[in-house]
Structure 1
Amino acid sequence: MAFEDLLPLVGHKGRFQILQALSLAVALIFLGTHFLIENITAFVPEHRCWTPLLDNTSALLNVSGNLNFSSLLKFSIPLDSNGKLEKCCRFFWPQGQPLLANVTGQNLSQLEMEPCVDGWVYDQSTITSSIVTEWDLVCDSWTLTSLSQSLFLAGILMGYLIGGYLSDRFGRKRTLSPSFFTLAVSSTGVAFAPSFQVYCCCRFLLGFSISGVLLGGGSLIMEWSTTQHRHLVAIMLSMSISLGHLFLGFLTYGIKDWRKLQLVVSVPLFAFFLITWWLPESPRWLIVHNKYNDALKVLRKVSKINGVKEQSVTAEALRSTMGKEVDAAPSSYTILDLVRFPILCKRTLCVSFKRFSIGMLFYGLSLDLQNLGHNIQMLQVILGASNFLSRFGTLFIMNCLGRRTIVVASFLLPGLFILSSTFLPQGILHAVLAMLAINCIVVCISCDNVYSVELLPTVVRNKCMGLSLTIDRLGAMLAPMINMLKHNIPAMPQIIFAIMAITSSLIVFFFLPETKNKPMPDTIQDLECGHSREEARPRDEGETLVKINQSEDCSRRLIENKTTVV
């Protein structure tokens, strides 16, 4: 009996699965806001130097009365090569020198200039307060906003790297609950950060905690799902993150102070931390770690919640679920051990590369919304709504097309969209192509959340996923830095993003198999011996002997391989 056959005995789509999925889905709405919240909290408004002639009441008394605001602005702030006000310098007027009526005849090009030594004046019509306006992250300090984004993504990277090991070593639930608590504390701490340094530290810890929630919670729910419902669960969870993006956009219309906004999306996380305590451990994880008694208790508890008779699940049924190879094969592997298994190694490398591209493309495009237009609230709402619809549409195309087909197409299309936008000026068409590219990547993320899980065996799934998602965060960390290249070569970021997208589509097409309607592999033997649980069921008695012999030979080779590693 395969685990896929065991789940219906305790209720594979009952009350428990619904409550479990809903509890995490609602939490992901608030968690999803933190991924793109710096589009709002790190918004860079229009700004100019603070000048005594315009912003100092006492200095205005010495100004000739026949000069209006535009005239004062003309003699206070120089113009750049595009005829716009300079953001980082002003004309120098010696202290106490009055602006006389005949000053209009002076040659402005001969006036001395100086940097914004007295600070800046910001346009507060869109966002009244952001970390940029509070800590003056403009001009010489403009790169610090990209630094804070990269540190947040570095926290997610470290979380995936460590969380993947902890989740496979100690269990899905034991990773999920502490991660939710740390997430609530660190996100609330961001709202009260007294300095930019403390803000960056809290954002790093916030990213670290998000990884534990996604790894622990995602694996927990996916391992409670059958093959027929797995993609529905994965898409529903990813849609919750898109709802978080949409929710963030609507919040910004009413909350324009960054600290209040941060607090509103952080405090509810404490409630979700309490909710996670009722979630039971994954029986798949318990079984592959030979904890049959604990798995039996969990399954009996779930069967009661679902209203299924308790006696339908026995210890013998659990032990026969995984077959002989679970008892024979080692239950603990390290990352270095994985290179000893060719098929697993190839899949892990391919999954890691495409996740690297996903991280770079999604954050490189979605964290650069301000360059698509000045109405950041509307752009955030459009992004959230379109992402939600894209993930919802993935539900239907995943039933018709294979996982690999969708991933290949959703890499190739954004590569072409980005490449086309490179040759277009800033405008509506450029913004439309950027939005289309982002939504293709969102479709790729939604499908790949299922695809990657189905490619990897249960016994090392979170280790491999933790490694691939760590590399995903490396791509995400590089995205803000790549966007900085546009200050030197405007088209360079788009060219890099397009090359990565097209290359990833080719790698997936040539090196990864299709997994649609196939059960998840539970052990490395399922991968290396070239069979799944379904394929292992022979049609006749003669075929039975062949299958058994092949399975025993392959198991022996894998055990010898593991012994060599040790």
Structure 2
Amino acid sequence: MSNLEDILKRIGEFGRYQIFLFLLLCLPSISNGCYMMAIVLLAYTPKHRCKIPGYDNDTWTVQGDYHASLINRTIPPSDDSFYDYDRCHVYKQTGTGNSSSYTMTQCSKWVYDHDTFDETVVTEGNLVCSEEMKPAHAQMVYYCGVLVGDLFFGMLSDSIGRRKTILICTVCLLISSVSTAFTPEFYSFTVLEFLVGASNHGLFILVCVMGIELTGPSKRMLAGVLMHLFFPVGLLYLTGTGFILRNWKTIQLVVAIPCVVHVCLYWIIPESPRWLISQGRYKEAETVLRKVALKNRKPYPEKIDLSQIDKVKPGRVWQLFTSKTLAWRTCIIFLNWFSVSQIFFGTTIHMSNLGGNFYLKFLLLAVVELPAIAITIGLLSKFGRRNVHAFFMMLSGGSNLLTIFTVLLGGKDFEPFTIALCCIGKVGSTGAFAVIYIFSSELFPTVVRTGGMGASSCVARIGGMSAPYIAKLGTLVGSHYGQALPLVIFGCISVTAGIFTLFLPETVNKRLPDTIDEGARFGTSKEDLDVYVQASDYSDDSEETKFPPPEEKTLL
């Protein structure tokens, strides 16, 4: 047997033992769903207005029915509805009698609408008006932490192993997330959010890698998609937590404390046999593989020398740009990672700026992810990676663009249709997110697959970092135009990325490229490289599954 895939075919590609391990590895995916969207709740900006000077008992519900003397001290007598509109300024009277005048000044105290939350980071720190960009900065820093965590913990796992790195990530996540609930001010909150983002998503990437590395080649697509099915479960948990508790500190603690369970993975999950082999630890790798065979009730193939398994010399990411064909494809893949991350997170962040009940909208955007992933599993094998991904990207982008009509032309009466279009867009972005993981990993040649996926993840985080600022445009612009603008931007980029996807080659049921040269020739009409094989035969060494040499042309 020439590689690990051949051994996994014999001892079980996704047997009962791997299913058990896979379900355990999915637990951090639930936490990932909570943490990736938690800041939408923690840093929620409620409706607010300036607190009336000299009126200590002023609340959000007290509007327009003030004592005349209070009105005269805060707003011009000719405009007693001022507080229904201005959130950041008050009028102060200077002088008396005929020489009196009114000066607009920025207020320093506010009253908030507590219908959605009793307290958030925004209301506690008064992060409104001149400070209103700070929540977007915190969200950007969180996604920056995600980028750093993917890179740092990915490299660390290649060095010290998957299990140890999972334990380190879990401990870091617990410490930083629990500490976040006790931060006294905004800057310490932001620093801890960076650490939460790094450790949370670093842990998620590691369990995804472990789940795939313990699975046989014909079942990896299923395992890769199913891992994302637990993300919306975390969103549902977060929605219920927010609805019941209503306080950002309590919500943070209730999300953080269950992560203690992840510590147990270190003692239950075995080390990746693929990593052990790469480190020359063949005896330990054999022990793991024999345990898999025993638990799956499969015979372990004897007379196997793991030290003789074929190894592919790793390449470098920059080699993806040594060929025009590979460079073009890599840029398209990067554009799709950027767009799908931006629209996936941006739609959820921006939905708080739309009308309707906050929790109902959040719940709907979480629930629609479940059928989206189920649909993706059914479509992938039948219609291929390229067409399904392009469909989902254009569905997501097109739905966001259609909100122009419901927001600008329909107004408040069409809010349910706007929410419905956002939900359809979330279905598209969820499906696209699940497909892009599989599609891009199959397009990148084996020698640079890990590096290519790492670079793609970095580009995706840049898309995530841009999402809060685009969503914030809705608040800065104001009116119906502010509600529509972020969705239009998300939609245009998504549709563009989906169209470019159609220029990529299909990968389903095809022998995937190993080298840079094979990657450049993959799917081209010049070379007869589209050799169809069964998914379970990807690792077969027979000549019919190899990339054939260039066709020899003879003169007649």
State the TM-score, normalized to the length of structure 1.
Answer: 0.82
Deviations 1:224-271 (A, max 9, x none): 223432232222211111111111111122111100000001011122
Indicate the residue corresponding to 1:481 in structure 2.
469
Indicate the residue corresponding to 1:34 in structure 2.
35
**How many pairs align?**
519
**2:200 pairs with 1:210:** yes
Which of 369, 384, 397 pairs up with 2:366?
A: 384
**2:452 pairs with 1:464:** yes
Distance 1:287 1:456, change over 3 A: farther
Distance 1:536 1:214, change over 3 A: closer
Deviations 1:64-121 (A, max 9, x none): xxx95486775546769998232112232679x9xxxxx9xx999x64433223x111
**Distance in 2 of aligned mates of 1:145 and 1:213:** 25
Indicate the residue corresponding to 2:553 in structure 1.
none
**2:390 pairs with 1:401:** no
**Distance in 1 of aligned mates of 2:198 and 2:80:** 42
Amino acid at match of 1:505: G
**Distance in 1 of aligned mates of 2:433 and 2:280:** 33
**Distance in 2 of aligned mates of 1:143 and 1:355:** 26
Indicate the residue corresponding to 2:135 in structure 1.
145
Which runs of 5 or more residues in structure 1 are unaligned?
Answer: 58-66, 98-102, 552-566
**2:91 pairs with 1:86:** no
Range 222-231 or range 67-76, more displaced: 67-76
Q: Report how far residue 459 of structure 1 moved.
A: 4.8
Distance 1:48 1:496, change over 3 A: closer
Distance 1:82 1:218, change over 3 A: farther
Range 25-34 or range 83-92, more displaced: 83-92
Distance 1:455 1:11, change over 3 A: same
Range 17-26 or range 337-346, more displaced: 337-346
**Contact 1:163/1:466 (<8 A) preserved:** no
Indicate the residue corresponding to 2:10 in structure 1.
9
Equivalent runs, 1:300-315 vs 2, <5 Å: 300-310=290-300, 312-315=301-304
Three-state SS of the structure 2 residue aligned to 1:268 is helix
Distance 1:462 1:538, change over 3 A: closer
Amino acid at match of 2:92: F
Three-state SS of the structure 1 residue aligned to 2:468 is helix
Amino acid at match of 1:391: I
Indicate the residue corresponding to 1:501 in structure 2.
494
Range 39-48 or range 403-412, more displaced: 39-48
**Distance in 2 of aligned mates of 1:348 and 1:20:** 33
Q: Report how far residue 409 of structure 1 moved.
A: 0.5
Distance 1:50 1:139, change over 3 A: same
Amino acid at match of 1:451: F
**Contact 1:91/1:112 (<8 A) preserved:** yes
**Contact 1:285/1:458 (<8 A) preserved:** no
**Contact 1:171/1:285 (<8 A) preserved:** yes
Q: Report how far residue 176 of structure 1 moved.
A: 2.5
Indicate the residue corresponding to 1:49 in structure 2.
50
**Distance in 2 of aligned mates of 1:321 and 1:373:** 59
Range 368-377 or range 67-76, more displaced: 67-76
Range 203-212 or range 393-402, more displaced: 393-402
**Distance in 1 of aligned mates of 2:418 and 2:67:** 33
**2:169 pairs with 1:185:** no
Q: Report how far residue 213 of structure 1 moved.
A: 1.3
Deviations 1:160-209 (A, max 9, x none): 23334334444433432222221222111211111111100010111111
Equivalent runs, 1:46-125 vs 2, <5 Å: 46-56=47-57, 69=66, 75=72, 76=74, 84-92=84-92, 111-117=102-108, 119-125=109-115
Distance 1:48 1:338, change over 3 A: same
Which of 262, 266, 271 pairs up with 1:281?
A: 271
Three-state SS of the structure 1 residue aligned to 2:406 is coil
Which runs of 5 or more residues in structure 2 are unaligned?
Answer: 59-63, 523-528, 551-556
**Contact 1:50/1:121 (<8 A) preserved:** yes
Indicate the residue corresponding to 2:429 in structure 1.
441
Q: Report how far residue 54 of structure 1 moved.
A: 3.4
Amino acid at match of 2:16: R
**2:221 pairs with 1:231:** yes
**Contact 2:13/2:218 (<8 A) preserved:** no
**Contact 1:132/1:138 (<8 A) preserved:** yes
**Contact 1:353/1:468 (<8 A) preserved:** no
Distance 1:519 1:177, change over 3 A: farther
Which of 388, 397, 401 pairs up with 1:419?
A: 401
**Distance in 2 of aligned mates of 1:358 and 1:334:** 25
Q: Report how far residue 282 of structure 1 moved.
A: 2.5
Q: Report how far residue 549 of structure 1 moved.
A: 9.5
Indicate the residue corresponding to 1:560 in structure 2.
none
Deviations 1:433-489 (A, max 9, x none): 122112210110112222223333555433221111101111111122223334347
Amino acid at match of 1:413: L
Distance 1:471 1:277, change over 3 A: farther
Amino acid at match of 2:469: M
**Distance in 1 of aligned mates of 2:419 and 2:289:** 50
**2:184 pairs with 1:194:** yes
Three-state SS of the structure 2 residue aligned to 1:304 is helix
**Contact 2:89/2:106 (<8 A) preserved:** yes
Q: How much identity, in percent, do the aligned residues show?
A: 29
Q: Report how far residue 13 of structure 1 moved.
A: 2.3
Amino acid at match of 1:50: K
Q: Report how far residue 340 of structure 1 moved.
A: 4.3
CA RMSD of aligned residues (A): 3.4
**Distance in 2 of aligned mates of 1:529 and 1:315:** 34
Amino acid at match of 1:420: L
Amino acid at match of 2:355: G
Three-state SS of the structure 1 residue aligned to 2:105 is strand
Amino acid at match of 1:514: E
Distance 1:342 1:390, change over 3 A: same
Distance 1:229 1:49, change over 3 A: same
State the TM-score, normalized to the length of structure 2.
Answer: 0.83
**Distance in 1 of aligned mates of 2:485 and 2:316:** 39
Amino acid at match of 1:498: G
Range 13-22 or range 237-246, more displaced: 13-22
Range 220-229 or range 408-417, more displaced: 220-229
Three-state SS of the structure 2 residue aligned to 1:186 is helix
Q: Report how far residue 28 of structure 1 moved.
A: 1.5
